[in-house]
Structure 1
């Protein structure tokens, strides 16, 4: 059976690549460019959680399971406890200074994630709800409720409500998400994950670390290929207060370049992952 992460986490994990470093000099940049990078880094934290969730739910659902270094790789300790509420499976995952060796990021996780799952991703009905209890990534507190629900064949609705990250410096970034993920290629080869292609549409809103209200709108559907670490296509419009920045990821090439336009000026940027 194909990993659930191929539907929900692969593209989202790559969203961490939205963070960027401009090829222009710092004094030529508008501050909104920095805020755009922070916006995508917030996405990467929630998406990192999705990768964890999908990896854990593949281990098995028949009995309690304790996973440490020798099981899936990593440092520290990760413990999963499974129970059932009628037809819904509940996985409670506790982290103690855990670093996932399979992840692209060397992030330290602590606290508890609770995962409630109904159905299977490839069945007609599927829904998964993720909540957090004193859960941190690199000391940053993650909050909110994330729901993934199947709405059509190869199509899934993703929502995040009451999303909030409290950073180690005390600043906060709130997030509400409404998105649609579509599996557009690779679903006919369930044992070959590398040919999968996804698109992502939708929006996000909230208040950033500077206290400014923002709207994050996918103007042209983002496209992800599992074989490429970068977003390969699509446009995001980020509005912060009365300023707007457009991020263009190109037309399908697998490269680390994107183009950011603000106040009529376009910067060529190199994509990077969130820390």
Structure 2
């Protein structure tokens, strides 16, 4: 169930460097979760010879509020390099994020090695990166999520203080 408005503001033709799309929300909810904030995607360059597009993605004052009034708030800055080839697209993502979790703990995250999303994995139903490492710090604890080396699976290795665990996402 969705309600409210998602507002998209285009500054020009997104195929041209410098153009951007800004997304804001007006009373927008998904399954009872209220979504707020501003997301801006900017085309920062196109390499026609190598079939690559560079994008920056910024989220400011992102917030998701549950019906019990607990919430997650966050800001993030990403760089996405989209490569188009005979096997479809590949996206490499780097960046940072920070915010506050539902229990009130602050967090910071950053890519340790670029996260890679490929069209063949997405087409097979794997909607998480197939490679790369993401690091989190919250409450003084450091956690890493290792997405692997390119296999189209839903398995990651979660490394935390005192151990690690393999996790498979639904």
In structure 1, which of residues 138, 143, 147 is the aligned counterpart of residue 31 of structure 2?
138
Does residue 249 (structure 1) correspond to residue 142 (structure 2)? The answer is no
Q: Which has the higher helix share?
A: 1
Q: Deviations over 1:101-154 (max 9, x none)?
A: xxxxxxx21101111012223223311111101100111000001100111221
Matches within 5 A, 1:6-21: none
CA RMSD of aligned residues (A): 1.3
1:240 aligned residue: 138
2:73 aligned residue: 174
2:7 aligned residue: 114
1:184 aligned residue: 83
1:77 aligned residue: none
Count of paired positions: 159
Q: Deviations over 1:2-55 (max 9, x none)?
A: xxxxxxxxxxxxxxxxxxxxxxxxxxxxxxxxxxxxxxxxxxxxxxxxxxxxxx
Query: Residue 185 of structure 1: CA displacement?
Result: 3.4
Structure 1, gaps ≥5 residues long: 1-107
Report which of the two structures shows the higher radius of gyration computed on alpha carbons: 1
1:21 aligned residue: none
State TM-score, norm by structure 1. Answer: 0.56
Does residue 224 (structure 1) correspond to residue 117 (structure 2)? The answer is yes
Partner Cα distance (2:84, 2:145) in 1: 24
Partner Cα distance (1:232, 1:113) in 2: 30
Q: Which has the higher strand share?
A: 2
Q: Deviations over 1:32-82 (max 9, x none)?
A: xxxxxxxxxxxxxxxxxxxxxxxxxxxxxxxxxxxxxxxxxxxxxxxxxxx
Aligned to 2:120, the other structure's residue is in SS state coil
The higher relative CO (CA closer than 8 Å, separation ≥ 6) is in: 1
1:261 aligned residue: 159
Query: Residue 266 of structure 1: CA displacement?
Result: 1.1
- Superposed structure 1 runs of 4+ greater than 6 Å apart: none
1:203 aligned residue: 96
Structure 2, gaps ≥5 residues long: 47-52
Partner Cα distance (1:181, 1:121) in 2: 15
Matches within 5 A, 1:49-88: none
